[in-house]
């Protein structure tokens, strides 16, 4: 049996800080939009998820290193054949309504997940779920999946545990009662969400301190308020004038407005997402001409594209972020070549005859718009007949996920897959509209079947190489998210989605 042990993150405060820890403070976070749903099983937007993970917890959560860590479970035992997962629950954990969490709630939560979550197919291989006693929960799979615990750590469509009495509530309409360190106070849709410290919170005392979304969480703040401030200039003004303690997503060109001030600072979270062009695998001419795809990939100039948008970025040839175990250099031969000559040679070898290529982009994200415009100019230089189709983000997103809109290539920002591992990538690989490609289906089957981590990494490397070499995905760069904060509080640390436990007033 393999046991996933609790690992402390080593992020507990230093002695000096610890002495200063005190309860109190009403923290204000000015975010880019309002919290739309507090249903962890159905939420996918980062704005929703940031609040959700303060209120709800799962059996496992992602740790500081973005790997799976037990949270409501004290340990997870995995059978040698990779088919049976036994979760031992922590005892005495309370929901915000005062009820103790047991396997009845765990069972109900997984049943609800299967009914309402868009990610329900992730449980497609579950043969049975059993609760032999109040603190033991067993999941058996039809076929081995050594990454099943990793699947369960996902912050998107989170496998959070909710009280069993809520199991029939429809998707996105769940009453927000969890086991998290904060509970919902006032929620005014489209305006603000006020979270209060949950004084009945039962922390994981076996951990030394907070560990990503797992570990021992301590809430010092009295309240945490999420305000919706969509306009970036206003968010910055709110931070400067004391109307907010923390602000999300500062555009690169506006960050300099905060320079020179000692009471506020800009925090860069990198890697946050990766900017990537996606090729439609079913729309000619790009679907039928491998050389054309490779020629376009050879034109990508990461520096020029990112600089055009004033984006903070890092070069990285991999579809995985650098901290990931799965990061490798398999993509290096096709990365950041910025060579018109190479592109021309490939076009000639592929007998490209001026067939039109449609590049769809959006005007909501500067780095997507500007990268696309730079690439279009490069494509024209290489002699490619290209049409730039500018739409809004909602249209772009729908066209990308459904394959509609007549595009040959488009651009997006991929965030959780590169951070969390191959299991999280599975949905996004379908963007190229070839989810039934045997390289993907057989690769994943093999990856799930093996318990050898090195073998899994090798198989993922093969899938990654296939997508990059074939030009189905063209990586540009890893990009940062800039956030601003004042100096009145201690304990804020950069993380993919911001956390406010273990944060206290000076």
Nearer to other proteins, 145 or 416 (CB): 416
Helix/strand/coil for 304: helix
Minimum Å distance from CB 460 to other proteins? 17
Nearer to other proteins, 237 or 308 (CB): 237
> Are 272 and 46 a contacting pair, CB within 8 Å?
no
Nearer to other proteins, 265 or 493 (CB): 265
- HSE-up of residue 413 (Cα within 13 Å, Cβ side): 21
Nearer to other proteins, 192 or 327 (CB): 192
Least Cα distance to 66 among 418, 481, 499 occurs for 418
Strands (E), 170-215: 182-188, 192-197, 210-211, 214-215
> Are 114 and 139 a contacting pair, CB within 8 Å?
no
Q: What does the binding site for other proteins look like in residue numbers (CB under 8 A)?
A: 30, 33-34, 36-37, 42, 44-45, 118-121, 156, 171-173, 188-192, 227-231, 233-235, 237-238, 240-243, 391-395, 397-399, 401-403, 405, 412-417, 427-428, 430-431, 433, 435
> Are 83 and 104 a contacting pair, CB within 8 Å?
no
> Are 30 and 248 a contacting pair, CB within 8 Å?
yes
**CB-based contacts of 312: which residues, under 8 Å, 6+ apart?**
252, 268, 270, 479, 480, 482
Minimum Å distance from CB 118 to other proteins? 4
Give the integer Cα–Cα distance in Å for 68 and 147.
Answer: 10
Minimum Å distance from CB 224 to other proteins? 16
Give the integer Cα–Cα distance in Å for 290 and 175.
Answer: 50
Helix/strand/coil for 27: strand
Burial class (CB in 10 A: 0-12, 13-18, 19+), 24: exposed
Nearer to other proteins, 239 or 295 (CB): 239
Nearer to other proteins, 218 or 276 (CB): 276
Give the integer Cα–Cα distance in Å for 429 and 112.
Answer: 27
Nearer to other proteins, 209 or 413 (CB): 413
Minimum Å distance from CB 413 to other proteins? 7
Helix/strand/coil for 401: helix
Minimum Å distance from CB 186 to other proteins? 12
Nearer to other proteins, 172 or 446 (CB): 172
Minimum Å distance from CB 361 to other proteins? 14
Question: What six digits make up the tokens of 21?
Answer: 């820890």
Residues of the chain by 3-state class (helix, strand, coil), percent to 5: 30, 25, 45
Minimum Å distance from CB 35 to other proteins? 10
**CB-based contacts of 189: which residues, under 8 Å, 6+ apart?**
34, 35, 36
* C-alpha torsion angle, residues 233, 238, 240, 244 (rounded to 10): -140
Nearer to other proteins, 91 or 189 (CB): 189
Nearer to other proteins, 172 or 265 (CB): 172
Nearer to other proteins, 36 or 383 (CB): 36
Least Cα distance to 66 among 503, 453, 377, 496 occurs for 496
């Amino acid at each position: 049996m393999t046991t996933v042990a609790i690992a402390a993150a080593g992020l507990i405060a230093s002695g000096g800080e610890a002495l200063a820890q005190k309860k109190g403070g009403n923290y204000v976070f000015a975010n880019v939009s309002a919290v739309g749903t507090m249903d962890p099983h159905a939420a996918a937007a980062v704005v929703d998820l940031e609040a959700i993970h303060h209120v709800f917890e799962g059996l496992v959560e992602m740790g500081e290193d973005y790997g799976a860590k037990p949270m409501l479970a004290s340990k997870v035992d995995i059978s040698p054949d990779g088919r049976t997962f036994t979760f031992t629950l922590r005892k005495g954990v309370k929901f915000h309504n005062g009820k103790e969490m047991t396997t009845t709630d765990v069972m109900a939560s997984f049943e609800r997940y299967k009914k309402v979550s868009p990610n329900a197919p992730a449980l497609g291989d579950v043969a049975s779920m059993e609760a032999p006693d109040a603190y033991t929960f067993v999941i058996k799979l039809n076929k081995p999946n050594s990454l099943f615990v990793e699947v369960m750590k996902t912050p998107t469509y989170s496998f959070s545990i909710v009280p069993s009495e809520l199991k029939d509530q429809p998707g996105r309409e769940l009453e927000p009662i969890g086991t998290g360190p904060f509970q919902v106070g006032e929620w005014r849709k489209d305006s603000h969400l006020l979270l209060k410290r949950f004084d009945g919170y039962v922390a994981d005392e076996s951990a030394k301190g907070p560990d990503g979304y797992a570990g021992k969480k301590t809430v010092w703040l009295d309240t945490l308020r999420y305000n919706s401030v969509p306009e970036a200039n206003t968010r910055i003004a709110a931070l400067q004038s004391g109307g907010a303690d923390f602000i999300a997503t500062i555009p690169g060109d506006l960050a300099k407005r905060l320079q020179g001030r000692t009471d506020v600072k800009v925090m860069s979270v990198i890697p946050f997402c990766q900017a990537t062009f996606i090729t439609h695998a079913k729309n000619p001419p790009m679907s039928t001409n491998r050389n054309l795809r490779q020629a376009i990939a050879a034109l990508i100039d990461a520096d020029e594209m990112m600089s055009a948008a004033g984006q903070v970025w890092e070069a990285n040839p991999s579809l995985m972020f650098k901290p990931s175990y799965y990061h490798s250099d398999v993509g290096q031969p096709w990365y950041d070549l910025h060579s018109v000559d190479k592109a021309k040679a490939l076009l000639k070898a592929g007998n490209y005859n001026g067939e039109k290529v449609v590049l769809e982009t959006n005007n909501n994200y500067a780095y997507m718009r500007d990268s696309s415009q730079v690439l279009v100019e490069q494509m024209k230089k290489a002699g490619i007949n290209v049409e730039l189709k500018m739409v809004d983000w909602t249209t772009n997103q729908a066209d990308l996920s459904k394959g509609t809109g007549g595009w040959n290539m488009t651009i997006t920002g991929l965030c959780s897959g590169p951070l969390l591992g191959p299991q999280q990538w599975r949905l996004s690989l379908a963007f190229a509209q070839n989810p039934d490609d045997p390289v993907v289906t057989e690769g994943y089957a093999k990856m799930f079947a093996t318990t050898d981590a090195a073998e899994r990494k090798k198989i993922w490397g093969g899938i990654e190489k296939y997508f990059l070499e074939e030009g189905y995905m063209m990586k540009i760069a890893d990009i940062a998210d800039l956030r601003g904060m004042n100096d009145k509080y201690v304990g804020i640390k950069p993380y993919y989605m911001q956390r406010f436990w273990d944060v206290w007033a000076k």
